[in-house]
Chains A and B, each alone.
Chain A
Amino acid sequence: MKTKTRTAALRTLSLGLGVALLATACSSGGTGEAEETSGDTGDSTTITWWHNSNTAPGKDYYEKVAADFSEANPGVQIEVSAMQHDDMVTKLDAAFQSGDAPDIYMERGGGEMQAHVEAGLTKDLSDVAADTISTLGSSVAGWQIDGQTYGLPFSMGVVGFWYNKALFEQAGVTEAPATWDEFYTVIDKLKAAGIEPISVGVGEKWPAAHYWYYFVLRECSQKVLQDGVSTLDFSDPCFAKAGENLEKLVAAEPFNAGFLSTPAQKGPTSASALLATGKVAMELAGHWEPGVMQGLTEDKQGLGEDTGWFPFPAVTGGKGDPAAVLGGGDAWAVSEGAPDVAVDFVKYLLSDEVQQGFAEQDMGLPTNPAAVEFVKDPALAALLEVRDSSPFVQLYFDTAFGTSVGGAMNDAIALVFASSGSAQDIVDATQSAADAEK
């Protein structure tokens, strides 16, 4: 009786299992095979392009660029998807996981790109786009692995302090600080005038992390830095020293109330909005800040005339070049399985003509030297000068090291802001996450 019952139950169960397995086998087979959505079909080719310029004028401009290319290359269709940045990043991750990546996509370089290259997802452009690479010069360095180039940067920006000129004046600060001693004087003056000196969005961690990155850039020599990025060895004392600088800054309490939960750019209480609406005097941020502030004010002007910018001050005794800048950029990369014409299109995107239009629309800081003079916005033009005169641009460390190490590092830095972590903790957390990668 008992055994009979059990057999029956088992039979029922195995039948169900069989059907289920069949169903899953079918579905997983389906996704596995769908490696390439596009390819040569006779004389008509469609290439897919994902970008993040999803508002005018950038969106319209890119549509025109795609149409122009199709016209010059009969039979080539370009399927453009303009997405909001975060959505694009999320969708890209999913697309890579399912093996269904777009032919042309945005690559930020560093460890992120390295992971894609190691997984065989990204095309080597070294030979097929050699001309463009030589035009772009040193700015492609961030998209090279072992001398091979996997992405063509179209916009490169730098990070520095954006400040409110009117509030500085109100506090009696006449000159932007060039050293950290001067910076602390500025903080004191602003506080004395009843103005919150700095806003920072530790809620999202990366804005806070930029402080540590920059202190590292000022404390460490270029050689130590570049070795560190490639060997993932953080034993040089300059890394810990950077953290001590940060501890000192946090102890001076220059940040907006509630900075530990403040978002970076979203909503009226975000760090960028506090600067844009005159509630704080400055914020450490990249070239995107004027655009972000414009979106956060009702008149769409941001700080307008009061927008000021100065580089991250020098650290006394630091071994880093005070003119070195932290920054990063966006590059176009081509999927391994994309048709050849996708490479042609990417080269076209980096051409003098398209980059000039890109500069004219203030869509970013162009990388093609022929386009530099076309940037209209004075703040962006000034940044371009800083970028181009700087001895070297250090890619944001979290991008450079990849998401895994970068995430652990940013977490540890945020803990220092919360006064529950030490300078050494940042180094240790980064090192152990890096060791787990090796």
Chain B
Amino acid sequence: MADDTTAPRGATVSPATSTTQAPVVGRATARPTARVAGGRRGPGPAWRKRAEIVFFVAPALLLFLFFVVWPIVKAVQFSLYRWKGFGPLVDFVGLRNYVSVLQNDVFTDALQHNLTIVVFSILIQLPLGLAIALLLNRRLWGQGVLRTIIFVPYVLAEVIAGVVWFQLLQPQYGVIDAVLGVVGLEGPPQGWLGTPDKAMIAVIAVLTWKYLGLAVILFLAGLQGVPEELYEASQLDGASWWQTQRRITIPLLGPTVRTWAFLSMIGSLQLFDMVWILTKGGPANATTTMVTFLVTEGTKRQNFGIASAASVILFVVALTFALLYQRFVMRRDTHDPAPRKKAHR
């Protein structure tokens, strides 16, 4: 069961396949191999299968080890030293960098900001995206144009979007305050990005604008997968539009929504570019994220040890989130969904 943490999906699969007497090598590849072997070609010699697996997996494995595992190992190593970024690694400090990161208010605030962004991304984008997707899924005049308009921000480069919003949100000369002025409202005197307790609102608003398109497109794609028969059946039963959505569409959209929420969550935890361009984590650290913290510590202050410790902590936080989510939320999508599977895929 200890293996659960590394590959929760495979864990329940491998005992099942091993009873079929098919040789099982890597757990992740167990199922497809077994299926192919038992199906078309019949069981070949074991060494050949292993050679095949090695041959096909090796390039990907090499890249993975070199570009993912190796940097992680190096980051862990750097995090144990006091290091300026150049010169030899000599000043071993043990876990002191971790202690100083965890005791740093800026970092703990950053962690909270990340969690706030996770929560608000889901709370705002989920209902909004769902509503828009449901509307756009009906036959509607100008549907294509509307879909494009909603999706454009997502396609736009993050940096460009950030720079544009930065200018729009300027006090006095910015468009947003001018528009607010027309309807008799007033922006904060320091500007949205310059007022500590308003900056996060502005950042979340821009993020919503930027990423709503992704949610809508994913949901629309999910809606395409809802079988027509079910709608016909519900019509025969005399269900209203709203009842159809509530009883059929939204439940069958579940896997899509859960996948989207997962992407959104991991993205929010690793958020950097938009915040960096809009506020650089300011004012008064009101919008720091874990990544802006580690970038500041690393590249601006050359405290590479501290930055590495922060990056390892971020990695652990994201991994924990991912595993918990897989375990408790995505489980229903990846584990034995047989009865529903035929219905919606």
> In the assembled complex, how far is the CB of residue A363 from the closest CB belonging to chain B, in whole angstroms?
27
Residue B302 CB within 8 A of the other chain:
yes
Known: A261-B282, A404-B302. A9 touches B65 (CB 8 A): no
Residue A420 CB within 8 A of the other chain:
yes
Residue B87 CB within 8 A of the other chain:
yes
Q: Is the CB of A12 within 8 A of B50?
A: yes
Known: A9-B25, A407-B296. A23 touches B57 (CB 8 A): no
A436 partner, pick from B65, B100, B170, B193, beta carbons under 8 A: B100
Determine the residue in chain B with the shortest Cβ distance to A119.
B87
Of the A-B pairs whose beta carbons lie under 8 Å apart in the complex, a sample of 13, sorted by A's number, is A8-B25, A12-B57, A16-B54, A16-B61, A19-B58, A96-B85, A257-B171, A260-B191, A260-B282, A261-B190, A261-B199, A407-B296, A418-B196
> In the assembled complex, how far is the CB of residue A202 from the closest CB belonging to chain B, in whole angstroms?
7
Q: Is the CB of A261 within 8 A of B301?
A: no
Determine the residue in chain B with the shortest Cβ distance to A92.
B86
Please encode chain B, from 24 to 59, with 1 for each CB lying within 8 Å of some chain A CB and 0 for all others. Answer: 111100000000000000000000001001100110
Binding site for A on B (CB under 8 A): 18, 23-27, 50, 53-54, 57-58, 61-62, 65-66, 69-70, 84-87, 100, 106, 167, 170-173, 189-191, 193-196, 199, 279-280, 282-285, 296, 299-303
Q: Is the CB of B301 within 8 A of A258?
A: no
Determine the residue in chain A with the shortest Cβ distance to B199.
A261
Q: Is the CB of B170 within 8 A of A258?
A: yes
> In the assembled complex, how far is the CB of residue A93 from the closest CB belonging to chain B, in whole angstroms?
6
Residue A120 CB within 8 A of the other chain:
yes
Q: Is the CB of B283 within 8 A of A17?
A: no
Q: Is the CB of B84 within 8 A of A414?
A: no
B25 partner, pick from A2, A5, A257, A406, beta carbons under 8 A: A5
CB-defined contacts of B70 to chain A, threshold 8 Å = 20, 24
CB-defined contacts of B171 to chain A, threshold 8 Å = 257-258
Q: Which of A363-411 contact B (CB under 8 A)?
A: 403-404, 406-408, 411
Q: Is the CB of B194 within 8 A of A262?
A: yes
Known: A259-B190, A262-B194. A8 touches B50 (CB 8 A): yes
Q: Is the CB of B173 within 8 A of A418?
A: no
Other 13 A-B pairs with CB < 8 A, given A93-B86, A203-B280, A257-B189: A8-B50, A12-B26, A15-B54, A16-B62, A90-B299, A93-B299, A97-B86, A203-B282, A267-B167, A403-B300, A414-B282, A418-B196, A436-B100
CB-defined contacts of A403 to chain B, threshold 8 Å = 300-302
Q: Which of A77-120 contact B (CB under 8 A)?
A: 90, 93, 96-97, 99, 115-116, 118-120
CB-defined contacts of B284 to chain A, threshold 8 Å = 260, 414-415, 418, 420-421
Q: Is the CB of A24 within 8 A of B301?
A: no
Residue A1 CB within 8 A of the other chain:
yes
> In the assembled complex, how far is the CB of residue B95 from the closest CB belonging to chain A, in whole angstroms?
15
The 6 A-B residue pairs with the shortest CB-CB distance, nearest first, are A119-B87, A258-B191, A418-B284, A260-B283, A20-B65, A260-B194
> In the assembled complex, how far is the CB of residue B318 from the closest CB belonging to chain A, in whole angstroms?
23
Residue A245 CB within 8 A of the other chain:
no
Q: Is the CB of A119 within 8 A of B86?
A: yes
> In the assembled complex, how far is the CB of residue A203 from the closest CB belonging to chain B, in whole angstroms?
6
Complex CA–CA separation, A118 to B84 (angstroms): 11
CB-defined contacts of B173 to chain A, threshold 8 Å = 268-269
Q: Is the CB of A16 within 8 A of B66?
A: no
Q: Which of A109-143 contact B (CB under 8 A)?
A: 115-116, 118-121
Binding site for B on A (CB under 8 A): 1-2, 5, 8-9, 12, 15-17, 19-20, 23-24, 90, 93, 96-97, 99, 115-116, 118-121, 202-204, 257-262, 267-269, 403-404, 406-408, 411, 414-415, 418, 420-421, 436
Q: Is the CB of A261 within 8 A of B283?
A: yes
CB-defined contacts of B57 to chain A, threshold 8 Å = 12, 16
Q: Is the CB of B86 within 8 A of A96?
A: yes
Complex CA–CA separation, A408 to B172 (angstroms): 31
Complex CA–CA separation, A427 to B85 (angstroms): 26
> In the assembled complex, how far is the CB of residue A34 from the closest CB belonging to chain B, in whole angstroms?
14
> In the assembled complex, how far is the CB of residue A398 from the closest CB belonging to chain B, in whole angstroms?
10
Determine the residue in chain A with the shortest Cβ distance to B283.
A260
Complex CA–CA separation, A202 to B58 (angstroms): 51
Complex CA–CA separation, A408 to B194 (angstroms): 20
> In the assembled complex, how far is the CB of residue A145 from the closest CB belonging to chain B, in whole angstroms?
16
Binding site secondary structure of chain B: loop
Complex CA–CA separation, A119 to B61 (angstroms): 37
Known: A12-B54, A15-B54. A261 touches B65 (CB 8 A): no
CB-defined contacts of B302 to chain A, threshold 8 Å = 93, 115, 403-404
Q: Is the CB of B18 within 8 A of A16?
A: no
B283 partner, pick from A116, A269, A418, beta carbons under 8 A: A418
Determine the residue in chain B with the shortest Cβ distance to A415.
B284
Q: Is the CB of B303 within 8 A of A20?
A: no
Complex CA–CA separation, A330 to B189 (angstroms): 38
Known: A16-B65, A420-B284. A261 touches B191 (CB 8 A): yes
Q: Is the CB of B24 within 8 A of A5?
A: yes
CB-defined contacts of B283 to chain A, threshold 8 Å = 202, 260-261, 414, 418
CB-defined contacts of B62 to chain A, threshold 8 Å = 16, 19-20, 23
Complex CA–CA separation, A414 to B283 (angstroms): 8
A269 partner, pick from B170, B196, B280, beta carbons under 8 A: B170
Among A15, A261, A268, A415, find the residue whose CB has the most chain B CB atoms closer than 10 A.
A261
Known: A16-B57, A16-B65, A269-B170. A118 touches B87 (CB 8 A): yes
Complex CA–CA separation, A273 to B282 (angstroms): 21
Complex CA–CA separation, A434 to B106 (angstroms): 18
> In the assembled complex, how far is the CB of residue A362 from the closest CB belonging to chain B, in whole angstroms?
31
Complex CA–CA separation, A9 to B50 (angstroms): 9
CB-defined contacts of A93 to chain B, threshold 8 Å = 85-86, 299, 302
Determine the residue in chain B with the shortest Cβ distance to A253.
B189
CB-defined contacts of B65 to chain A, threshold 8 Å = 16-17, 20
CB-defined contacts of A5 to chain B, threshold 8 Å = 18, 23-25
Known: A5-B18, A258-B171, A269-B173. A121 touches B86 (CB 8 A): yes
> In the assembled complex, how far is the CB of residue B298 from the closest CB belonging to chain A, in whole angstroms?
10
Complex CA–CA separation, A23 to B285 (angstroms): 41
CB-defined contacts of A408 to chain B, threshold 8 Å = 301
CB-defined contacts of B25 to chain A, threshold 8 Å = 5, 8-9, 12
> In the assembled complex, how far is the CB of residue A407 from the closest CB belonging to chain B, in whole angstroms?
4
A9 partner, pick from B26, B106, B299, beta carbons under 8 A: B26
CB-defined contacts of B301 to chain A, threshold 8 Å = 403-404, 406-408
Among B25, B69, B190, find the residue whose CB has the most chain A CB atoms closer than 10 A.
B190
> In the assembled complex, how far is the CB of residue A425 from the closest CB belonging to chain B, in whole angstroms?
11
CB-defined contacts of A121 to chain B, threshold 8 Å = 86-87
> In the assembled complex, how far is the CB of residue A276 from the closest CB belonging to chain B, in whole angstroms?
14
Determine the residue in chain B with the shortest Cβ distance to A5.
B24
Q: Is the CB of B167 within 8 A of A407?
A: no
Complex CA–CA separation, A257 to B199 (angstroms): 15
Complex CA–CA separation, A97 to B302 (angstroms): 11
CB-defined contacts of B85 to chain A, threshold 8 Å = 93, 96-97
